[in-house]
Amino acid sequence: MIASAAVMTAIVGVRYLMTSGLFALITRRVRPGLYQGLSGQIGREIGWSLLSAAIYGIPAGIVAWGWQERGWTRIYNDPQAYPLWWMPLSLLAYLFLHDTWFYWTHRWMHRPVPFRIAHAVHHASRPPTAWAAMSFHPAEALTGAIVIPALVFFVPIHVGVLGLVLLIMTVMGITNHMGWEIFPRWLVHSRAGHWLITASHHNRHHEFYRCNYGLYFRFWDHLCGTDKGLSVP
Ligand SMILES: [Zn+2]
Ligand SMILES: [Zn+2]
């Protein structure tokens, strides 16, 4: 179990360095000079993110061990184990439940005390960069780290769909913080864009703080009147 937690920590850390590094390189090509003068901030973002990697890796490693060795979790390998339509639906369910958890814990973390103790670390990224995707105080990282390892005990998911959830989580975490919009205007300003979160939406959260709290979808922000539209990064 300890070995599994250590391996998972290493995987999360290396995955962070490779994916954030890739998007930082793309940024250098597409928006030269965007991160100029931010090297101090980027160093701190990498430090907090690597600490978060351990906090994400430990529960994930323990659950992965229990799944393999003890038959814990409702992760399944056989695609026929549930109706095929469950695959796209489970993907949406995981994203929606993760988004719901994130919205409400994030909103709570903007209250003065939790903000000062924990969430200020994430908001020290002004403007955020591709390295800020996991730049959280350990207390905040813990609230994020338990979501998927907890969901796999309750909501059945095919192992491939779970991989897709983790891929979307990683890529959106980075692109939302990259400081420029990677998705085309026709999508961001479309009817689908009205419900989806990309950098244009999350950048505004880093500018104005008490709005645009969501992770993947604008559903809760629209419902609760906290959606303050898009900025133009
Ligand atoms: Zn952020
Ligand atoms: Zn925030």
Instruction: Tell me how far the alpha carbon of residue 10 lies from the centroid of ligand 1, in angstroms.
Output: 23
**CA atoms within 13 Å, Cβ hemisphere of 168:** 20
202 part of a folded domain: no
Instruction: Tell me the residue range of the domain where 129 lies.
Output: 2-178
Total domains, the chain: 1
Give me the pLDDT at residue 121, please. Answer: 97
208 part of a folded domain: no
pTM: 0.95
- Of 47, 52, 57, residue with least CA distance to 3: 57
E strand or H helix at 193? none
218 part of a folded domain: no
Give me the pLDDT at residue 232, please. Answer: 77
92 part of a folded domain: yes
Tens-digit pLDDT profile for residues 41-96: 999 999 999 999 999 999 999 999 999 999 999 999 999 999 999 999 999 999 99
171 part of a folded domain: yes
Instruction: Tell me how far the alpha carbon of residue 95 lies from the centroid of ligand 2, in angstroms.
Output: 19
Instruction: Tell me how far the alpha carbon of residue 223 lies from the centroid of ligand 1, in angstroms.
Output: 20
How many H helices and E strands in the chain?
11, 2
Letter string b/e over residues 132-145, b meaning 16 or more CB atoms within 10 A of that residue's CB = bbbbbbeebbbbbb
Tens-digit pLDDT profile for residues 172-203: 999 999 999 999 999 999 999 999 999 999 99
Give me the pLDDT at residue 216, please. Answer: 98
Percent above pLDDT 70 for the chain: 100
20 part of a folded domain: yes
